[in-house]
């Protein structure tokens, strides 16, 4: 079976992507070492954990040395921001959000390009609606996602043997979403948000699209009818 590496796979959307890819792919489940990641690997027969801190670039480089061929790389790991105005956002937050959401994805991609080229593989970037429109108090997060879109676009032009897909979901029903809604001071209503299973299905659709087509972008918006 083809092999897929999914970052941020221990819970939420990453775990759901893993579950939906498991029937057709051998999985490398990326994430910090945790019982959640170990339990998911146990549930998904044949899955292997890829337990690294993505911003520890020496550790990442060592971890990918044994990967000689990779069919699918799904960049799902990411962090949110504190929803402050630009005037109130400290420089440390800019560094953290851009480091995790952009720089770490770029470096993991760079290190895995030989393996992806060998398989004529597919890279999927889980972006965000914030990667297409920047709203007040979302500047660091939106900036990281706009930049992630630029990374995907440049990579697509540079690597003609690879397929590169950006997925732009609206807000998703996850633990991180609950935290954001709490910061916003609203009551949490999961029906307002996309289901993880819906977004994961879009990723699987992109990955399994016939080789004669290149799914470059997928945009999903919640309807509120979930």
Average pLDDT over every residue of 24-47: 95
Residue 35 has pLDDT above 90, yes or no: yes
Residue 224 has pLDDT above 90, yes or no: no
Give pLDDT, residue 34.
Answer: 94
Give pLDDT, residue 226.
Answer: 64
Work out whether strand 163-169 and strand 122-126 pair parallel, antiparallel, or are unpaired.
parallel
Residue 59 has pLDDT above 70, yes or no: yes
- Mean model confidence pLDDT for the chain: 94
Catalytically annotated residue among 50, 141, 168, 193 = 141
Q: Which long-range contacts (CB under 8 A, 24 or more apart) does 135-142 make?
A: 136/85, 137/83, 137/84, 137/85, 138/81, 138/83, 139/81, 139/85, 139/86, 139/89, 140/81, 140/89, 140/93, 140/94, 140/97, 140/98, 141/80, 141/81, 141/97, 141/101
Average pLDDT over every residue of 182-206: 86
pLDDT tens across 2-33, in order? 999 999 999 999 999 999 999 999 999 999 99
Give pLDDT, residue 138.
Answer: 94
Beta bridge partners of 219: 168
Residue 86 has pLDDT above 80, yes or no: yes
Residue 179 has pLDDT above 80, yes or no: no
For residue 37, give the nearest of 22, 25, 26, 47 by alpha carbon: 47
Please give the share of the chain, as a percent, with pLDDT higher than 70.
99
Residue 63 has pLDDT above 70, yes or no: yes
CA distance 112 to 69: 9
What is the SS3 assignment for 176? Answer: helix
Is 57 catalytic? The answer is: no
Domains of the chain: 3-219 (3.40.50.720)
Average pLDDT over every residue of 40-51: 95
CA distance 31 to 96: 17
Question: 56-65, 134-143, 190-199: lowest mean pLDDT where?
Answer: 190-199
Give pLDDT, residue 174.
Answer: 74
Give pLDDT, residue 122.
Answer: 98
Average pLDDT over every residue of 154-181: 88
The pLDDT confidence band at residue 176, using thresholds 50, 70 and 90, is: confident
């Amino acid at each position: 079976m083809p092999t897929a590496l999914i970052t941020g796979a221990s819970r939420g959307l990453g775990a759901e992507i893993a579950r939906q890819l498991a029937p057709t792919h051998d999985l490398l489940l990326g994430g910090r070492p945790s019982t959640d990641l170990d339990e998911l690997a146990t549930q998904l027969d044949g899955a292997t954990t890829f337990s690294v801190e993505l911003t520890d670039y020496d550790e990442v480089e060592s971890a990918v040395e044994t990967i000689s061929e990779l069919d699918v790389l799904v960049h799902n790991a990411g962090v949110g921001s504190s929803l402050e105005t630009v005037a109130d956002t400290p420089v440390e937050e800019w560094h953290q959000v851009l480091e995790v959401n952009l720089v770490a994805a770029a470096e993991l991609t760079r290190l895995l390009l030989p393996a992806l080229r060998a398989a004529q593989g597919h890279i999927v970037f889980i972006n965000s609606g914030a990667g297409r429109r920047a709203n007040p108090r979302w500047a660091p997060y939106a900036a990281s996602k706009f930049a992630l879109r630029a990374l995907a676009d440049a990579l697509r032009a540079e690597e003609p043997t690879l397929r590169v897909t950006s997925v732009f979901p609206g807000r998703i029903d996850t633990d991180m979403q609950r935290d954001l809604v709490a910061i916003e001071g609203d009551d949490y209503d999961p029906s307002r948000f996309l289901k993880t299973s819906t977004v994961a299905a879009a990723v699987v659709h992109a990955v399994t699209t016939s080789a004669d087509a290149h799914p470059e972008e997928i945009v999903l918006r919640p309807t509120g009818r979930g």
